[in-house]
């Protein structure tokens, strides 16, 4: 029976990346029925809503989506579609495997870590009070009664981290480790400074770790983790982090495996999952058929596994690995120099992967 999947091309370079990914997923022979839905800047400009209700309803119905990146204006304009989607569907786990494939240009060829990022709490909750607003004034007055003086020209963002949110994300990290033959989970935090938010995350992480004695557990202060990732990456396996640190460390992980064009991800909740690359919409390359679709294709590999299509997932990953290893029909970011004239486009990279699938690599 065909798998029904919500297909969201996104905006910027999203549509070309999504189309290339759809083609390789279909070439695995797995049967899909795509429910095409809109999200992002284009639908915001035409309808005033970057995440229409019909898009959310579709994912609720199909329970699985694959999504191209969407643009979020900096500082003003609409809020992030990604944050809204994760919140609305309670996709609390963001899993981002960072594995360096042979042939990729990286100083860290042994990298094989998995970042598990909390997706619903922390500074991403959007609890913010603008400088000069009435709410901001009230909050500062209230905080002053607690002895906390804040300058009156401050903007304020609030960082809530709960026992509930921490417990389920750390548990998800241990479950991932068990299912995927991983041996260690590292929890990252800044509990020495933020004792009641990051401190709570660490306390809960230690409790959850106690329930999984067969998996090694350790914690790292976030700045130290960043340092160690680029000096002793082989010491890390699964890393679980609150939302903002998870976002930042995901990009370090992407850099370690050859760039943002290589880094896949899945946002997973109890009732739905949406697979998307770590990178954004790279708008300056829009419509140029230039950017690397590997990250979204590897997100497709994760989706195939999620759907139980394990053999197809392995075949697609092998085909991708073969194209990358050969290094001929790859996009500019995988070539020795960025202006290499032999680089192929997004769509031609998909052709190369489809040829490998056909050759039964």
Separation between Cα atoms, residue 46 and residue 56, nearest integer Å: 18
Question: How far is CA 11 from each of CA 21, 119, 302, 303, rounded to the nearest angstrom?
Answer: 15, 22, 22, 21
Exactly one of 242, 261, 300, 345 binds ligand NAD (CB under 6 A); that residue is: 261
- The reply on whether position 70 binds ligand NAD by CB under 6 A is yes
Interaction of residue 267 with ligand NAD, rule CB under 6 A? no
List 120, 292, 298, 345, residue binding ligand NAD (CB under 6 A): 292
Does 71 interact with ligand NAD (rule: CB under 6 A)? yes
* Residue whose CB is less far from ligand NAD, 221 or 252: 252
Q: How far is the CB of 87 from ligand NAD (least distance, A)?
A: 14
* 291 interacts with ligand NAD by CB under 6 A: yes
Q: How, if at all, do strands 238-241 and 216-221 pair?
A: unpaired
Does residue 54 contact residue 37 with C-beta atoms inside 8 Å?
yes
Q: Among 72, 93, 120, 136, which residue sits at the site for ligand NAD (rule: CB under 6 A)?
A: 72
Does 280 engage in binding with ligand NAD (CB under 6 A)? yes
Which residues lie across from 128 on neighbouring strands? Answer: 157
- 281 near ligand NAD, judged by CB under 6 A: yes
The answer to whether residue 11 forms part of the interface with ligand NAD (CB under 6 A) is: no
How far, CA to CA in Å, does 171 sit from each of 71, 89, 116, 210, 268? 31, 19, 10, 11, 13
Q: Does residue 21 belong to the site contacting ligand NAD (CB under 6 A)?
A: no
Closest distance between ligand NAD and the C-beta of residue 278, in Å? 7
Q: Give yes or no for residue 282 binding ligand NAD (CB under 6 A).
A: yes
> Is the CB of 95 or the CB of 291 nearer to ligand NAD?
291
Residues 219-258 that bind ligand NAD (CB under 6 A): none
Residue 82 makes contact with ligand NAD by CB under 6 A: yes
Range in contact with ligand NAD (rule: CB under 6 A) among 105-113, 273-281, 303-311, 348-356: 273-281
Give the nearer residue to ligand NAD in terms of CB position, either 143 or 288: 288
* Residue 192 phi, psi dihedral angles, 5° rounding: -70, -25
In the beta sheet, which residues pair with residue 218? 186
Token reading at 219: 């914690």
Residues that bind ligand NAD (rule: CB under 6 A) add up to a total of 18
37 binds ligand NAD (CB under 6 A): no
Residue 279 CB, nearest distance to ligand NAD (Å)?
3
Residue nearest to ligand NAD (CB): 280
Query: How wide is the angle at C-alpha 167 spanned by C-alphas 238 and 85, nearest 5°?
Result: 80
Shortest reach from residue 250's CB to ligand NAD, in Å: 9
Question: Quick one: 14 or 177, whose CB is closer to ligand NAD?
Answer: 14
CB of 70 to ligand NAD, least distance (A): 4
Residue closest to 204 by CA, chosen among 179, 160, 173, 168: 168
Q: Does 87 sit near ligand NAD (CB under 6 A)?
A: no
Q: Which residues of 271-296 are buried (b: 16+ CB within 10 A; e: fewer)?
A: ebbbbbbbbbbbeebbeeebbbbbbb
6 scored as a contact of ligand NAD (CB under 6 A): no
Least distance (Å) from ligand NAD to the CB of residue 203? Answer: 30
Residues 33, 5: contact at Cβ < 8 Å?
yes
| Active site residues per annotation | 124, 190, 223, 247
- Binding footprint of ligand NAD on the chain (CB under 6 A): 69-72, 82, 260-261, 276, 279-284, 291-292, 295, 333
């Amino acid at each position: 029976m065909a798998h029904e999947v919500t297909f969201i091309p996104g905006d910027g370079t999203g549509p070309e990346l999504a189309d290339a990914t759809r083609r390789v997923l279909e070439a695995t022979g797995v049967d899909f029925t795509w429910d095409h839905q809109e999200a992002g800047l284009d639908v915001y400009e035409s309808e005033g809503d970057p995440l229409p209700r019909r898009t959310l309803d579709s994912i609720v119905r199909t329970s699985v989506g694959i999504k191209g990146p969407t643009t979020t204006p900096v500082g003003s304009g609409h809020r992030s579609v990604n944050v809204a989607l994760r919140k609305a569907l309670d996709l609390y786990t963001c899993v981002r495997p960072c594995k360096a494939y042979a042939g990729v240009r990286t100083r860290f060829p042994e990298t094989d870590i998995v970042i598990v990022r909390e997706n619903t709490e922390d500074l991403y909750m959007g609890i913010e009070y603008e400088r000069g607003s009435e709410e901001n004034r009230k909050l500062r007055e209230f905080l002053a009664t607690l002895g906390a003086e804040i300058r009156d020209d401050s903007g304020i963002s609030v960082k809530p981290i709960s026992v509930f949110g921490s417990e389920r994300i750390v548990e998800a990290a241990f479950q991932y480790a068990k299912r995927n033959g991983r041996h260690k989970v590292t929890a990252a935090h800044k509990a020495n400074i933020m004792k009641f938010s990051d401190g709570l995350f660490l306390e809960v992480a230690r409790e959850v770790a106690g329930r999984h004695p067969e998996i090694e557990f350790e914690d790292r202060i976030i700045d130290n983790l960043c340092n160690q990732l680029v000096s002793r990456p082989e010491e890390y396996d699964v890393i679980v982090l609150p939302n903002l640190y998870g976002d930042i460390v995901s990009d370090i992980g992407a850099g370690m495996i050859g760039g943002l064009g290589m880094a896949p991800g899945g946002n997973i909740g109890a009732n739905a999952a949406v697979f998307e690359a770590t990178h954004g919409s790279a708008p300056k390359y829009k419509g140029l058929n230039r950017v690397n679709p590997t990250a979204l294709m590897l997100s497709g590999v994760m989706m195939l596994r999620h759907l139980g299509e394990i053999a197809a997932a392995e075949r697609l990953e092998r085909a991708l690995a073969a194209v990358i290893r050969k290094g001929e029909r790859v996009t500019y970011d995988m070539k020795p120099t960025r202006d290499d004239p032999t680089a192929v486009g997004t769509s031609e990279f998909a052709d190369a992967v489809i040829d490998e699938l056909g050759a039964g690599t």
